[in-house]
Chains A and B, each alone.
Chain A
Amino acid sequence: MEKMTPLYLPIELITQILLRLPVKSLICFKSVCKTWFTLISNPNFANSHFKFSESTQTLRILSISAIPTQIRSVDFEVLFNNHSNSLNPNLSLPQSYFPLQIKGSCRGFIFFNCSSNNYIWNPSTGFCKSLPLSPIGSNFGTYSYLYGFGYDHSRDDYLLASLYPALAADVSSHLEIFSLRDNAWKEIEDTPFPYWSPYHYPKLGLLFNEALHWFVSRSSSLVDVIVSFNLMERKLLEIPIPSDFGDYLLDIGSWVFGEFLSLWAMRNRIVEIWVMKEYKVHSSWIKNIVLSIDTLPTKCFFPIYSTKSDDVIGTDDGSGLVKYNNKGHLLEYRTYCDDPRGSQVVMYTESLLSLPGDHEQV
């Protein structure tokens, strides 16, 4: 049987194959040859690859523990199928960036703060850039406030949001947005932010439907609402919370459950999960699951991710990941970090993306 075995595939074929590889493999294969290095480092390739893998990519967890400083990137599937108890640290940042506080993640980038500097970091490419602090922020010091990190695709721009709540009824609050493209902070003047955060630690805004969401209280009436800030229109909107949400909660947070905006509410022994079946429609809130957190050593649980079969995966605010099924039964518990103080945890995807305006090859 006559067979032609050409040794070389044309570059457009190779590109098609590379688009279907995960980020980790692509980073390795940069070292195959100079052509591949250039191809994989090209921002256009990174954009195509990101679009291509957006729907199929598994979200991962980035866990950063303090002492010793260790960074782990954890794939949920691997963790729950793996029988060893903890995973080795597999990412690194120079020591000068510690101690740090994670403030968000978007399209493969992590937004963190260290000392008094803000940084955007892509753990996959190693790229790290410092960004100016907001002018108001420097005045406020370290008051508890709300922040967020998102992407405005109409401008191909990354945005940081900083909200300084009204500390008293007659003091105004401030909402500032940093645009990467403009490289500047700007206060959103004509959008008053008459809210404050009911919980005394900084809260990260949930990126959903191209808006950042925070659980807040109206300073005038102490009514709780979800406030959403649309990144394209730069407008604030209130979203009502469920009527029978209840009081005496230890903590509340928002996350995405499947395709829906969801609130979790932690009480003494349980966590309730509420889902908004129709975005912005008050009557569509339903109490979906109630989980018992009594058996967890930390008696704490924050959902962060839902699987295709509606299992709820979250962190125990320590060093473990916990999986419940959609009936609230505890399925599995895995530790991923040795530090008993736990670690900061954020969900992220892997990407080769570079920031708009940066053409530095990494």
Chain B
Amino acid sequence: MASSSSNLISLKTSDGTVFKVERALAKTMKTVQAIIEEADANIYMIPIHNVFSHHMDMIIDYYKLSVAGKSKEFSVEKLDNDELKDFLLAVHYLNMEDLFEVLTQAVADRLEKKSVGYVRKYFGIENDFTPEEYAAIRKKNDWAFKGDDIEPEEDEEKQEE
């Protein structure tokens, strides 16, 4: 089945599932769009690495909502932190502007009032400050760590792991 004569584009995810999506949806994926434009002949199937079928399900949900003018109803609340990061990477790979905005904002919202320790765990980052350096930065910016709504920091000793 040649994809050029229909309005559907076939996308194959990393886990082997084929999704037939509307051309308009494929257009929101700049990476896919570039592949289509670069191909001399018509492509039957476009493989999308790093993207799994559960990602595509959510992408299609978002697309349907935004076509209906209801993109604000799209929610990633049910995703845990790793799932959200994972989805963000997939959308980043596909280079989808609107959805990328939504997801980066969702991650930012989750991090906003969290402690430094939480953020390190979230991104898998090691603390490379010495205790003295860390203490100096904390002292200088003490105001930012205060507030009823902010998660308290762990003790300095716990930072060295």
- Interface residue? A199 (CB, 8 A): no
CB pair B123–A9 under 8 Å, yes or no, is yes
Q: Beta-carbon contacts of B47-76 to A below 8 Å, as 1s and 0s?
A: 000101010000000000000000000000
B124 touches A28 (CB 8 A): no
Closest partner residue, chain A, to B110 (CB atom): A17
B138 near A31 (CB under 8 angstroms)?
yes
Contact present for B127 and A33 (CB under 8 Å): yes
Pick out which of these stretches binds chain A: B19-27, B32-40, B113-121.
B113-121
Q: Is A68 an interface residue (CB 8 A)?
A: no
| Contact status of A37 and B123, CB under 8 A, knowing A6-B89, A13-B92, A28-B116 | no
B86 to A, closest residue via Cβ: A5
Decide if B125 touches A32 in the complex (CB within 8 Å): yes
CB atoms of A32 and B116 under 8 A apart: yes
A222 contacts partner chain B, Cβ-Cβ < 8 Å: no
**Which among A17, A36, A92 has the greatest number of chain B C-beta atoms within 10 A?**
A17
Residue A200 interfacial (CB < 8 Å): no
Q: How far is the CA of A149 from the CA of B128 in the complex (A)?
A: 40
Which residues of the other chain, B, contact A91 by a CB distance below 8 angstroms?
A: 143
How many angstroms from the CA of A20 to the CA of B107 in the assembled complex?
9
Q: Does B44 contact A (CB under 8 A)?
A: no
Q: In the assembled complex, which residues on chain B have CB atoms less than 8 Å from the CB atom of A362?
A: 140
Task: Tell me, yes or no, whether A1 is within 8 Å of chain B by CB.
Answer: yes
Interface residues of B in 106-161 (CB under 8 A from A): 107-108, 111-113, 116, 119-120, 123-129, 134, 137-138, 140-141, 143-147, 150
Q: Which residues of B contact A18 (CB under 8 A)?
A: 108
Chain A positions 1 through 17: 1 when the CB is less than 8 Å from some CB of chain B, otherwise 0: 11111111100011011
Least Cβ–Cβ distance between B16 and chain A, in angstroms: 10
Within 8 Å of chain A (Cβ to Cβ): is B15? Answer: yes
In the bound complex, CA of A24 to CA of B120 (Å):
17
Hey, which chain A residues are within 8 Å of B86, CB to CB?
3-6
- How far apart are B51's CB and chain A's nearest CB, in angstroms? 10
Whether B134 and A31, one on each chain, are in contact in the complex, defined by CB atoms closer than 8 angstroms, is yes
Structural contact, A2 and B15, CB atoms closer than 8 A = yes
For chain A, the bracket of interface size reads: 35 or more
Check B141–A27 contact: CB distance below 8 A. Answer: yes
A17 and B143 form a contact (CB under 8 A): no
Q: Mark B80-94, 1 if CB is under 8 A from A, else 0.
A: 001001101100100
How far apart are the CA atoms of A30 and B142 in the complex, in Å? 12
Residues of A within 8 A of B147 (CB): 24, 90
A202 proximal to B (CB < 8 A): no
Q: Does B104 contact A (CB under 8 A)?
A: yes
Measured in the bound complex, the distance between the Cα atoms of B143 and A19 in whole Å is: 20
* A residues in contact with B85, CB < 8 Å: 5-6, 9
Asked if B89 contacts A9 (CB within 8 A), the reply is: yes
Nearest CB of B to A17, in Å: 5
* Bound form: Cα–Cα A22–B114 in Å: 12
Q: Does B42 contact A (CB under 8 A)?
A: no
Asked if B105 is an interface residue, CB under 8 A from chain A, the answer is yes
Pairwise interchain contact B129-A33, C-beta atoms closer than 8 A: yes
Contacting pair A33 B126 (CB below 8 A): yes
Quote the shortest CB–CB distance from A230 to chain B (angstroms).
Answer: 35
**Residue A24 contacts which of B15, B137, B144 (CB distance < 8 angstroms)?**
B144
Across the interface, name the chain B residue whose C-beta is closest to A91.
Answer: B143
Across the interface, name the chain B residue whose C-beta is closest to A123.
B143
Cα distance, A307 to B152, chains bound together (Å) = 32
**A31→B137 contact, CB < 8 A:** yes
Measured CB to CB, the closest approach of chain B to A124, in angstroms, equals: 8
Known: A4-B50, A5-B85. A126 touches B112 (CB 8 A): no
In the assembled complex, A25 has its CB within 8 A of some CB on chain B? yes
Which listed residue (B14, B105, B120, B124) contacts A20, Cβ 8 A? B105
Within 8 Å of chain B (Cβ to Cβ): is A21?
yes
| B54 close to A1 (CB less than 8 A) | yes
Check if A34 is an interface residue, CB within 8 A of chain B.
Answer: yes
Q: Which residue of A lies closest to B140 (CB)?
A: A126
The docked-state distance in angstroms from the alpha carbon of A7 to that of B52 is 17
Q: Give complex CA distance A18, B124 in Å.
A: 16
Chain B residues, Cβ within 8 Å of A29? 111, 116, 119
Interface pair A34/B104, CB less than 8 Å apart = no
Pick the contact of A30: B120, B137, B150 (CB < 8 A).
B137
Beyond known contacts A1-B54, A22-B112: 8 more, CB 8 A cutoff: A8-B123, A17-B104, A19-B104, A21-B108, A21-B111, A29-B116, A31-B129, A33-B120
